[in-house]
């Protein structure tokens, strides 16, 4: 009987041990999967430094500040400051919700630019401003803003604001809406006022992507205004350029118009025509004759520019060399002009 009792006692003890061991195992496993919270840890018998009420308040404030500072507030501020950028990038519902504030953002940017003009800042300073740069960045993704800016340009014709808007439009990407703007610009070159002509020509000159029909309108404007409107003629010259889609006839019409200005009574227009011929890099006999004759112009700066243009051209080197030697043989020629001619000869004969 005593033996049976001992066996029973051993079974009870073994069972108790197994239960305790199992409890410890599962408790450890639960702790690994679900670590205790800070409040639970605080109840454990771990010795810690005592904190004063002031220290605890500071710790709490720091936690609040860290919680409120980071991403959410930053995103809200960025969207508020730059709604057009976000609406252009985001295809989500949030981006669509920002479309309503997109136009408002354009209004705010234009208001900031107008305020800068009122403080008599230079155009260069305004072009470098955050408002102007952001205006340019917002236009490629916002067709309605481009159309609105063109309308504002026409309203502000003849003012510094119009010049700034022309540059902003020219630097925006050339989408379908920008092509529509060019179509309207071409119409106004025939029907608009002189101030509108000037602003539109500045826009076309900076965009550098006008088509043959627009080039034709610009040439007609030069013919009409060359003798009585110097500034407009200069703007028109700047707007002209050779596009790959232009036919040989279209290009020749451009050269004919420019060369007709090489003998203009206004030295500024003569100089601009020489510069434009050099930029177009036309290699016809007509251009060679105009540049050669310009080396005898009454204005030293024009003679120098004509010499430089010949030196950078691809005309027959012997013809260019003869022209340069004629310049150097002139005892009354200025030092700067002779230096330009000498440099052209050195470039033609680098080993001499």
pLDDT in tens, 23-68: 555 455 445 445 444 444 444 444 444 444 434 333 333 333 333 3
Residue 10 domain flag: no
pLDDT at residue 97, rounded to an integer: 34
Instruction: Judge whether 219 lies within some domain.
Output: no
**Positive or negative CA dihedral for 40, 45, 50, 52?**
positive
Q: 330, 347 in Cβ contact below 8 A?
A: no
307 and 341 in contact (C-beta within 8 Å)?
yes
Would you say residue 158 lies in a domain? yes
pLDDT at position 284: 82
In this structure, the chain runs to a length of 352
How many domains in the chain? 1
> Residue 87 pLDDT > 50, yes or no?
no
Q: Does residue 264 lie in a domain region?
A: no
- Give Cβ neighbours of residue 276 (< 8 Å, ≥ 6 apart): 237, 238, 240, 258
pTM over 0.75: no
Whether residue 187 lies inside any domain: the answer is yes
Residue 249 and residue 257 in contact, taking contact as beta carbons nearer than 8 Å: no
Q: Nearest to residue 277, comparing CAs of 231, 245, 315, 313?
A: 313
| Model confidence band, residue 15 (pLDDT cutoffs 50, 70, 90) | low
* pLDDT at residue 145 greater than cutoff 80: yes
Over residues 317-321, mean pLDDT: 92
Residue 33 is assigned to a structural domain of this protein: no
**Is 38 domain-assigned?**
no
Residue 161 clears pLDDT 50, i.e. is over it: yes
Residue ranges with strand state E in the chain: none
Which range marks the domain in which residue 134 is found? 76-85+93-209
Kindly state whether residue 113 falls inside one of the protein's structural domains. yes
pLDDT: which is higher, 58 or 237: 237
The residue ranges of DSSP E strands in 194-288, in sequence order, are: none
């Amino acid at each position: 009987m005593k033996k049976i009792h001992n066996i029973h006692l051993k079974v009870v003890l073994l069972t108790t041990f197994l239960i305790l061991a199992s409890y410890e195992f599962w408790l450890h496993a639960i702790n690994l999967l679900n670590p205790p919270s800070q409040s639970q840890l605080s109840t454990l018998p771990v010795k810690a430094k005592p904190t004063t009420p002031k220290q605890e308040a500071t710790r709490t404030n720091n936690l609040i500040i860290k919680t409120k500072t980071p991403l959410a507030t930053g995103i809200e501020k960025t969207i508020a400051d730059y709604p057009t950028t976000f609406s252009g990038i985001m295809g989500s519902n949030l981006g669509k919700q920002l479309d309503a504030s997109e136009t408002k953002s354009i209004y705010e940017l234009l208001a900031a630019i107008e305020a800068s003009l009122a403080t008599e800042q230079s155009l260069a300073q305004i072009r470098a401003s955050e408002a102007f740069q952001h205006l340019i960045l917002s236009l490629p993704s916002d067709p309605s803003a481009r159309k609105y800016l063109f309308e504002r340009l026409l309203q502000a014709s003849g003012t510094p604001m119009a010049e700034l808007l022309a540059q902003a439009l020219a630097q925006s990407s050339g989408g379908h809406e920008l092509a529509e703007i060019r179509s309207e610009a071409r119409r106004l070159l025939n029907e608009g006022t002189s101030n509108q002509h000037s602003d539109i020509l500045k826009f076309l000159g900076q965009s550098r992507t006008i088509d043959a029909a627009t080039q034709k309108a610009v040439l007609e404007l030069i013919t009409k205004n060359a003798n009585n409107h110097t500034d407009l003629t200069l703007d028109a010259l700047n707007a002209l350029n050779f596009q790959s889609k232009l036919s040989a006839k279209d290009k020749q019409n451009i050269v004919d118009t420019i060369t007709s200005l090489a003998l203009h009574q206004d030295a500024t227009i003569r100089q601009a025509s020489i510069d434009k011929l050099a930029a177009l890099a036309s290699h016809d006999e007509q251009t060679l004759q105009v540049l050669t004759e310009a080396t005898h112009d009454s204005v030293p700066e024009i003679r120098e520019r004509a010499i430089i243009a010949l030196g950078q051209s691809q005309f027959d080197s012997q013809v260019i060399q003869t022209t340069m030697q004629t310049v150097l043989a002139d005892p009354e020629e200025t030092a700067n002009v002779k230096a330009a001619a000498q440099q052209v000869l050195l470039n033609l004969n680098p080993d001499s």
